[in-house]
Amino acid sequence: MESPRVASSPSQLEDRCARDARRAALRLLAAVRRDDVYANLQWPAVLERYGLTGRDAAFATDLAYGTLRWSGFYDLVAAEVSSRPWTDVDPDIVDIVRLGVHQLLSMRVPDHAAVDSSCQLARVVGITDEGRVGFINGLLRAVARRDRSQWDEVVGRGKQADELAAAVTSHPRWVTEALHQALALHTQGEISDEALCAALLANNEPSRPTVAFLDDPPVLDAGLTPGRWSRRAATVDAGLPAKVEAVREGRAIVQDEGSQLVVEALLAVPVSPPESAWLDMCAGPGGKAAVLASHARTQSVDFVAVELHAHRAALVESLLAAGVPEDSDVALHILTADACDRPWGSQFFDRILLDAPCTGLGALRRRPESRWRRNRDNVIELAALQRRLLATGLSSVRSGGVLAYVTCSPHIAETIDVVEEVLLHIDDVQILDAREFLPNVPDLGPGPHVQLWPHLHGTDAMHLTLMRRN
């Protein structure tokens, strides 16, 4: 006869939830490291797998994302107390140590709980050798002997400006240097060490989930707060944005307010009528395309979306279907192709959005792992692609039409330099002052380009250049 099941006590339930939260965080770190996944795309499925909701999901999210953001700093801390070269340590152990250090230095977790739970986590995932578990235990106990401010001093000892900023804000040195240069251009002056650190630290603050409404006028549901700059934007007060009623009904999509602003600017530029067709050259995963298509419907303008990768093209198709009903007289064309090959043929467009592939340095709040995936060589490769795409796009703008060159990166080599190099070979293109088309947004820089910043605008660091074909 089966024994009766004994109900878990509140303390047992709490312990199990905390254990599952740590397992979920570790699972995400391993997936990011091994499979090169995007954390923000993988995380909802991980939460669902472990049945985490509410406070438990919030704890797990803080643990996982905080560790991803601060892993560079935590590696420097661990290297100071490790009995062996940190670069030689098993990656599975590195993940567990990083999680433990985050709890010790950045969360309100008692030292003993952070250390003991890390050792338990190691055993749960198959690290049973007591020597390896003992290594984790000893290392974390050594870390616990200093608080965060003391570790800042240790890690920063003997380092110069940009190197110090990189270390204490957990960014690669090359990223720190690139953002320093972009900020100096934005302010047209020298950037203090404090201002640089403030901008970098903004990348380590979690962004509030934001949605963009496709219906006009937008009707905000309960649990949403209007955005700061875009009338279509709203932030999600609590929970996952996918659970928002408007998102489930297809009236809204998950989209950072910075992405909304660059599309709004493109739509605000006057273009002589009649307009007949718009183009999104790099449409995946489809957020900006959905907003453009919803506007195209109201203007009776045909819309073409191009995406290189089939799985992303499928995402574009699903989002466009939400913004443009089947009974609409607007023609939608989704092309799975390389935009550099001009798959739309000889067609010309009134408005073109080129949201070019980039390093993603502008979205480090949402994708903290991007800072560790990219390097200087990636910038060179991407800039070459960006130039090819921009030249192709400008050749497809009709006379009097406008193209928006957009990157989710403030890196000058991906933004202003790309535009200037392409325009050296094109005579009949005028750069517009993009600030004029975002009149309610402050601190946009000296123009004519627009640069958004997390620490100034609360958005991703989106770059925008608007160009008109004469």
List, by residue number, the catalytic residues: 408
* Residue environment code for 237-270, b if the CB has 16+ CB neighbours within 10 A, otherwise e: eeebbeebebbeebbbbbbbbbbbbbbbbbbebe
CB 77, CB 403: distance < 8 Å: no
Sort 76 into a burial class: Cβ within 10 Å, 0-12 / 13-18 / 19+.
middle
In whole angstroms, give the CA distance from residue 392 to residue 444.
27
Output the DSSP codes for 92-147.
Answer: HHHHHHHHHHHHHHHSS--HHHHHHHHHHHHHHTT---HHHHHHHHHHHHHHTTS-
The count of other CB atoms within 10 Å of the CB of residue 48 is 13
Comparing C-alpha atoms, which of 416, 432, 422, 413 is closest to residue 395?
422
> Identity (one letter) of the amino acid at 438?
L
Residue keyed to tokens 């770059």: 463
CB 352, CB 282: distance < 8 Å: no
User: Which two structure tokens, joined as six digits, stand for 432?
Assistant: 């517009």
In whole angstroms, give the CA distance from residue 469 to residue 400.
5
In whole angstroms, give the CA distance from residue 457 to residue 74.
28
Sign of CA dihedral 226, 445, 383, 397: positive
In whole angstroms, give the CA distance from residue 165 to residue 136.
28
Residue keyed to tokens 């004519």: 448
| CB-based contacts of 105, cutoff 8 Å, min separation 6 | 74, 77, 143, 147, 148, 151
Local structure of residue 208 (DSSP, 8 states): P
User: Which two structure tokens, joined as six digits, stand for 187?
Assistant: 């302010």
